[in-house]
Amino acid sequence: MKNPFTHIAIIGVGLIGGSLGLAIKRGMKGVMISGWDKPEVLRKARTRGAIDVAASSIASAVETADLVILASPTTKILSLLPTVARYVSSHALVTDVGSVKSAIVDSANKLFPHGNFIGGHPMAGIELSGIEAAHPLLFENAVYVFTPLRKTPNTQIKRLSDFLHVLGARVLKLDARTHDTVAAAVSHLPQLTAVALMNVAGKRHKQARKHLQLAAGGFRDLTRIAGSRYDVWDDILKLNRTEILRALELLTKELKAYRSAIGKPRSALRTNFASARKLRNAIPRNMKGFLHTLSDVYVYVQDKPGVLATMTGSLAKAKINIKDMELLKIREGSGGTFRLSFDSPEVSKRAAKILRGKGFEVES
């Protein structure tokens, strides 16, 4: 497929911007990337191959670009939008990666009369930050939400969609208000919940804080995102305050109901558990949010050198692609159970047959 863009400007070359640059270089030949950021960040970005040109100003970065990506924190994006709008061509497409969309889209509606702006949010963040943590596969199978303006031409929407598909992302179009409402419940609320859980167990609870080594896999999974830096979330919590407060209120009511139900005969908690289990099982079981359900097999792997290579190598030889992989349980010196996810039940059945032929214990 012909590259939808030939000159891409990335404003802010940190984790997301740097990963975009690396992904573009990996998947598109002949595309020039100019970057704008602090001089030391640009030096690292060039060394890593995420950009070709370190621009000295936003104007020089964007004036000949046919795609401009604002990959800074959300409040920074809002402050940079007027400058980008002033210097970018009306034929170029401008997008961003901010985690809150309404404020950005409202501003862009005024600044881009030709409709050449599409808000964007890659649901692919990790706890690390900076160009040092950038990776070209960050967007593989990640849900990438984009929020066009009312006047954005369909041709521009298709250009961005084609571009994101080349990067391996799964595109989902929403209006900005819906995005912010949903993100408050499925992204921003979990972040605050993880922080609260970690502080309760590690600081508030007098006994638990002395014995955190007892925290099992479930607790680690629930609190994984508690490792995020506050700097990343400050903008989000301010700009999506109304929706986050609404989500917090719903969670508070839910927990109060559970507190009242605990210990009572014929507890309503049985219904809550059943409902939660059903809802959870309906979500595609992978961390990057596939938009269709994958088919899983469970493989027990012994704790021996080369066994993992045998498992993955035998599937690679059969040209079977593992869409997602997760280590569920491990016992040092014994082994562990992996969940392998595949595109369809047919592919998972083939994979299970091959792995059993190699002597692995497999459940499907």
Helix (H, G, I), strand (E, B) or coil at 360: coil
Residues 18 and 152 occupy one common structural domain: yes
Q: Which tokens belong to 339?
A: 């969940």
Whether residue 290 is contained in a domain is answered as no
Residues 137 and 210 occupy one common structural domain: no
Distance CA 340, CA 297 (A): 5
Query: Which pLDDT belongs to residue 290?
Result: 45
Distance CA 149, CA 158 (A): 14
* Partners of 148 in the β-ladder: 118
Residues 130 and 54 occupy one common structural domain: yes
**Of all residues in the chain, what percent are helix, strand and coil, respectively (each to 5)?**
50, 15, 35
Residues 40 and 95 occupy one common structural domain: yes
Helices (H) and strands (E) in the chain, counts: 14, 12
Amino acid at the residue 156? Q
Residues 155 and 70 occupy one common structural domain: yes
Query: Which pLDDT belongs to residue 286?
Result: 47
Residues 99 and 167 occupy one common structural domain: yes
Q: Which tokens belong to 207?
A: 């006994």
Domain span including residue 213: 179-264
- Alpha carbon separation from 198 to 127, 250, 302 (Å, rounded): 15, 20, 32
Whether residue 279 is contained in a domain is answered as no
Whether residue 286 is contained in a domain is answered as no
Residues 147 and 187 occupy one common structural domain: no
CATH number at residue 102: 3.40.50.720
Burial (CB count <10 Å: 0-12, 13-18, 19+), residue 277: exposed
Nearest alpha-carbon partner for 304 in 346, 280, 342, 332: 332
Backbone angles phi, psi at 261, to 5 degrees: -85, -25
Residues 166 and 299 occupy one common structural domain: no
Backbone angles phi, psi at 156, to 5 degrees: -70, -40
Query: Which pLDDT belongs to residue 295?
Result: 84
Question: Which residues touch 152 (CB under 8 Å, ≥6 apart)?
Answer: 115, 116, 117, 118
Question: Which residues touch 298 (CB under 8 Å, ≥6 apart)?
Answer: 328, 337, 338, 339, 340, 362, 363, 364
Q: How many CB atoms lie within 10 A of CB 295?
A: 18
Distance CA 76, CA 78 (A): 5
Q: Which tokens belong to 142?
A: 């990640």
Residues 34 and 165 occupy one common structural domain: yes
Nearest alpha-carbon partner for 88 in 117, 110, 109: 117
Query: Which pLDDT belongs to residue 289?
Result: 46
Residues 81 and 193 occupy one common structural domain: no
Distance CA 45, CA 40 (A): 9
Query: Which pLDDT belongs to residue 292?
Result: 56
Q: Tell me the DSSP string of 204-233.
A: ISTTGGG-GGG--HHHHHHTGGGGS-HHHH
Amino acid at the residue 29? K
Whether residue 285 is contained in a domain is answered as no
Q: Which tokens belong to 95?
A: 């997008």
Query: Which pLDDT belongs to residue 145?
Result: 95
Whether residue 355 is contained in a domain is answered as yes
**Counted domains in the chain:** 3
pTM score, whole prediction: 0.77
Residue-wise pLDDT tens for the chain (364 aa)? 577 899 999 999 999 999 999 999 998 989 999 999 999 999 999 999 999 999 999 999 999 999 999 999 999 999 999 999 999 999 999 999 999 999 999 999 999 999 999 999 998 766 667 898 888 888 887 889 999 999 999 999 999 999 998 888 889 999 999 999 999 999 999 999 999 999 999 998 988 888 887 777 778 878 888 888 898 899 999 999 999 999 999 999 999 999 999 888 777 788 889 999 888 877 765 444 445 567 888 998 888 888 889 999 999 999 999 988 887 766 555 678 888 988 889 999 999 999 999 999 998 7
